[in-house]
Structure 1
Amino acid sequence: MYTLGIDIGSTTSKCVILEDGKMIRAMSLVTAGTGTNGPAQAYEQVLQSAGLTQADLDYVVATGYGRKTYEAADAQMSELTCHAKGVYFQNPKCRTIIDIGGQDAKVIRLNENGGIADFVMNDKCAAGTGRFLDVMAGLLQMPVSDLQKYALAAKEPVRISSTCTVFAESEVISQLSQNVDMANLVAGICNSVASRTAALAKRAGIRETVCMSGGVAQNHGVLSALSRELDVPVVEVEYAQYMGALGAAIAAYEKVI
């Protein structure tokens, strides 16, 4: 039995095909989200990677910002539910999920069965999200993937105090004009994201094990800073960026068994 989950985000589209509800058969990611042809591309790519056709799929569930406009799905499901299912599938010991996406940040507290006990979200401000890191990387004229390398090499991280992306951008420009060490500046940017996310997490209540999902989980500068801010280890979930799509594929399997 093959089920497919598609997570249509603000900046990316991800697909996961699950075999018999137990094994990840294929995954795909396209850097184009809702309102683009990214979802269709991700769908075609994952089928090709799995060596399957649309007729082989038993059920499709869509999640993410663009889930309500994706007509190829059999059902839709909230991001919170799908991320909870995906992370719990990867790490059943997880009790707190920190997910930093392109446009929002979510903290989900799980019970012993992987159900949602509580959650909080920041979807009103770009600060503390992947978008914030994208803006800062653009300002520093480096790929966002390079932020981790610089952050982990810092000796004295700069403090970025502004809670608004626009004002934080001005702070970074000011620091650049003073020839501040790049590693220390990038570490300050990562610490800024971690500080905002940690405040969100404390509102939900922290229970170990704490897992991080979403694309920003791949930035170990942010992940390490979060561990320091929360004073507990924060671990990256395997295939962190695919947790919404994986959870949707699991939900699809549960629909047909």
Structure 2
Amino acid sequence: LAITGGITDIVALDEAVKNAGGVISVNDTCLGARPFSERTQEKPDPFQAVAERLLKWRSPCARFSEGEFRSNGEVDATVFVAPKFCDFYDFVRPKDGKSVYRIELDYPINSQGQLSTRIGALMEKNSVRSVSPSKEGIKMLFAGVDSGSTTTNAVLIDREGRIIFSKTLKTGVRASNTAEALIAEMTEVASKEGKRIGKCVSTGYGRLLVSSASDRITEISCHARGVFELFPEARGIIDVGGQDSKVIRLSPDGNVDDFAMNDKCAAGTGRFLEVTAAALELEIDEMALMARKRNKDISISSVCTVFAESEVVSLIGMGERIENISSGLFRAIAKRVGAMYSRLGSPVPLVFTGGVARNSGVVDALKELFGTEIIVPEAPEIVGAFGAALIARDSVVED
């Protein structure tokens, strides 16, 4: 990877790239080792010579350049980094002809999980996915484990892709223990079938913690694989989980064309629903039923979960109907996701995955906002684990 753009915590970024199995071969950030194109010329005044070299022959910081990015030609993709909400850095984009992906970073970088997911998905998108092929017999089953922030999902499939077993557990404070318990249960199921697990692929924020997994793939690639298997006609995916939301655009052959994620914020996620439902003293499913009885539209302006909770409390104090508030909250989520969806070109047909897809209030709000039908799988929460199991199967060569 080549890294360019504004000032960034290169140590944290380098760690994320390393965890995803990549290498930063060019660092063109403002604090990075930007390359020189010429040697320092010999002159009577050495200070003058060094100053000319710095000003004339060093690749400029992206903050001061006009978008020209010079690399050594040995990169698979370029990551353009911009500080969050800082337009001063954001007016420059690299023009080196390579695949370019833009990310925004806050300071300090304290969300390594999300950053690693972005970098890993970028590498997988550019066909540098690290999945080791193996050769196994035909009496194999294949496992996928999606270790998320709220729940952990497990799926076991056979060679034909049929689901033999699936289960969802609360992740809890020991994500690795929850994942390993599910793998142990799948191993027992495989044994009763007279087979064994040939390969296990983990995904989700806790994917690196699943020690029994053979490979670790981002949830973006796994949701894409699972959706394409179930709905080959799909071109767009919305995945809303407990702590983040993603929108993915698929190519006709099922590969990830592009994707967008929310930035370290629970707005538009399952956590947002939990917090606001508690403020209304309702179960989330009750909110969905009440939202259908609204008699006017209320706008929840706060995109922050904490501020939205305060806004809900204020609306209750003003005597606003719970039905209208519930509807406003669902539409707030839809708008948050809709911004990312529009940015990717509003691809259709559209599939909604993740546990929040079971909530009819969110589905109705998205349909109303997008003006299109939305496909919801029978078990939307296991699509990522299903995709991970399919990737495990696809990488095994039969004897």
TM above 0.5, one fold? yes
The Cα RMSD (Å) is: 1.9
Q: Which amino acid aligns with 1:217?
A: A
Contact 2:149 2:205 (8 Å CA) reproduced: yes
Cα 1:61/1:219, change in 2 over 3 Å: same
Cα 1:52/1:83, change in 2 over 3 Å: farther
Q: Which amino acid aligns with 1:30?
A: L
Q: Give the Å deviation of 1:44.
A: 3.8
Q: Distance in 1 between matches of 2:382 and 2:173?
A: 16
From 210, 213, 224, the equivalent of 2:353 is 213
Q: Distance in 1 between matches of 2:168 and 2:278?
A: 22
Alignment of 1:1-257 (within 5 A): 1-33=140-172, 35-36=174-175, 37-47=177-187, 52=192, 56-257=196-397
Contact 1:34 1:65 (8 Å CA) reproduced: no
Q: Distance in 1 between matches of 2:185 and 2:281?
A: 31
What is the aligned length? Answer: 257
Tell which deviates more after alignment, 133-142 or 11-20: 133-142
Unmatched tracts of structure 2, length 5 or more: 1-139
Q: Give the Å deviation of 1:62.
A: 0.3
Relative contact order (C-alpha < 8 Å, sep 6+): which is higher?
A: 1
Q: Which amino acid aligns with 1:78?
A: T
Q: Which amino acid aligns with 1:96?
A: G
Contact 2:141 2:190 (8 Å CA) reproduced: no
Give the structure-2-normalised TM-score.
Answer: 0.61
Tell which deviates more after alignment, 232-241 or 143-152: 143-152
Greater CA radius of gyration, 1 or 2? 2
Q: Which amino acid aligns with 1:76?
A: R
Q: Distance in 2 between matches of 1:187 and 1:50?
A: 45
Cα 1:66/1:21, change in 2 over 3 Å: farther
Superposed CA offset, 1:45-74 (max 9, x none):
445566648971111000000111110111
Q: Distance in 1 between matches of 2:345 and 2:173?
A: 31
Q: Is the partner of 1:17 in helix, strand or coil?
A: strand
Give the structure-1-normalised TM-score.
Answer: 0.93
Unmatched tracts of structure 1, length 5 or more: none
Superposed CA offset, 1:76-126 (max 9, x none):
111110000011111111100011111111100001111111111114211
Q: Give the Å deviation of 1:75.
A: 0.9
Q: Distance in 2 between matches of 1:137 and 1:159?
A: 16
The structure with the largest helix share of the pair is 1
Cα 1:47/1:204, change in 2 over 3 Å: same
Alignment match, 2:7: none
Q: Distance in 1 between matches of 2:210 and 2:354?
A: 21
Contact 1:132 1:165 (8 Å CA) reproduced: yes
Superposed CA offset, 1:187-231 (max 9, x none):
111111011101111011112101100011111111111112122
Q: Which amino acid aligns with 1:189?
A: L
Cα 1:38/1:149, change in 2 over 3 Å: farther
